[in-house]
Structure 1
Amino acid sequence: MARFQDRFEAGRVLGEHLRAYAGRSDSLVLALPRGGIPVGFEVARALDAPLEAFVVRKLGVPGHEEFAMGAIATGGVRVLNEDTVRGLHISDEEVARVLAREERELARRERLFRGGRPPPRIQGRTVILVDDGLATGSTMRAAVLALREQEPGLLVVGVPVGAPGTCASFRDEADEVVCVLTPEPFHAIGHFYEDFAQTSDEEVRELLARAERGAGFGMEAF
């Protein structure tokens, strides 16, 4: 089974698959915190493009939070899997509680990661949306919907590994989809990494700061 050493190696491999977008003045790498940031860091370095965090929160099923029933993203976008909600008999009140909790966390992370900086301009740009993998795709789908509202010139979804069916489903939603590995059968994303330790908020902030210092100078500050 092919595996990446860690998210940084995965980002370097993904960056090679995205070389067509290197050196373009309109390119922007948006990474989903927290796990997508180390991947996006290496993609941005490979493409000589700026890196920004795009905050999205999964809506976990009450009592089984690892299983997504939807997601929310910056800009008030909300994706809810109605089949999951109905099938698991999740009440409106339970959905509302999860939404309120995750909206608070989304707002906290935006303050933490953006540090008062204005959001990047999306309209007309080539946006490369990156995460460390695609399982159900609910978080990435929320991000794609949020970005489409801001009218990017081109929207590319890139991940080091993803479930084959999930990767295929994004071909109707993004202009290009790059999934480096699409193993069958697909297990949890972490099965395809030697080191899949959780990325901390401080690590995210440090990587975003390093990327900002490198922007515009051929990334030599990395």
Structure 2
Amino acid sequence: MRESRFADRDEAGRVLAEAVATRAPELVGRGTLVLGLPRGGIPVARHVASALAGELDVLVARKIGLPDQPELGIGAVTAGGPAVFDHRSLSQFRLDPERLAPDVERERAEAERRLRRYRGDRPPPVIADRRVLVVDDGLATGVTARAALRAVRAMDPARLDFAAPVCALDAADALADEADQVYCVAQPADFVAVGAWYSDFAQLTDDDVERMLAAAARGPRG
């Protein structure tokens, strides 16, 4: 299990890609669909998709923040799936999901907007009866990953896995009831935050995401 930081998301993607291909060779060359969670999951996911000879696409999940501390994620929602909440956080802050309904609708609308922008005129991928792997650049609380996985599971994939270069121990364990398999390169006891495990954790733009997805859609140049 890796203990050192990744240089950047590209290195993390290459390392994760090798780990997944080694641990799950049945995913290689079998039409696996790799769904990256933008923005940071896309540069990681593109390396995984390449290693698996799979298809890269995007799945947008938006964090629902604490009303007075929006950076503190207590839930998440996708464009089409149900909202998912961290019930321990709801209890701790004495919040009812109904109070968060406006936040849920706002973030769902933003997820829909981003999905339209990122995918453009490309049709959504087929998910039913396929092997699907959801990829992010890290797993902290797990609530965003949980929302993403539930949205995909509702579309009846043949197999649904999750992968990230670095994962908090508790969060990875908690995904066991959502994903058929969870792949993590590093699961540090002193996790703290995803960004702490990257030397370069620069923020990406929508343009960056669009460029990577467009390049993957064009395929390798021969």
Q: Same fold by TM (over 0.5)?
A: yes
**Could you tell me which residue of structure 2 aligns to residue 85 of structure 1?**
90
Residue among 150, 153, 157 paired with 1:145: 150
Alignment counterpart, residue 32 of structure 2, candidates 18, 21, 27: 27
> Any stretches of 5+ residues in structure 2 without a counterpart?
none
Return the offset for 1:89: 2.9
Q: Do 2:138 and 2:164's aligned partners in 1 also have CA atoms closer than 8 Å? A: yes
State the shift of 1:63 in Å. Answer: 2.2
How far is the alpha carbon of 1:23 from its aligned partner? 1.5
- 3-state SS of 2:175 partner: helix
CA RMSD, Structure 1 to Structure 2 (Å)? 1.5
Aligned partner of 1:3 among 2, 5, 21: 5
Unaligned runs of 5+ in 1: none
- Other structure's SS at 1:18 match: helix
Do 2:32 and 2:55's aligned partners in 1 also have CA atoms closer than 8 Å?
Answer: yes
- Alpha-carbon separation, structure 2, partners of 1:91 and 1:77: 16
Residue of structure 1 equivalent to 2:101: 96
How far apart are the structure 2 equivalents of 1:145 and 1:32?
14
SS at match of 2:17: helix
Q: Distance in 2 between matches of 1:90 and 1:12?
A: 40
Deviant stretches of 4+, over 4 Å: 91-94
Output the CA distance in 2 between the equivalents of 1:154 and 1:112: 28
Residue in structure 2 matched with residue 123 of structure 1 by the alignment: 128
Tell me by how many angstroms 1:7 deviates: 0.6
Q: Provide the TM-score with structure 2 as the length reference.
A: 0.92
Whether 1:135 and 2:106 are equivalent positions in the alignment is no
What is the percentage of aligned positions where both structures have the same residue? 46
**Matched residue, 2:113:** 108
Over 3 Å counting, the alpha-carbon distance change for 1:50 and 1:80 in structure 2 is same
In the superposition, the TM-score normalised over structure 1's length comes to 0.92
**Is the CA contact (8 Å cut-off) linking 1:37 and 1:131 kept in structure 2?**
yes
Deviation at 1:93, TM superposition (A): 6.6
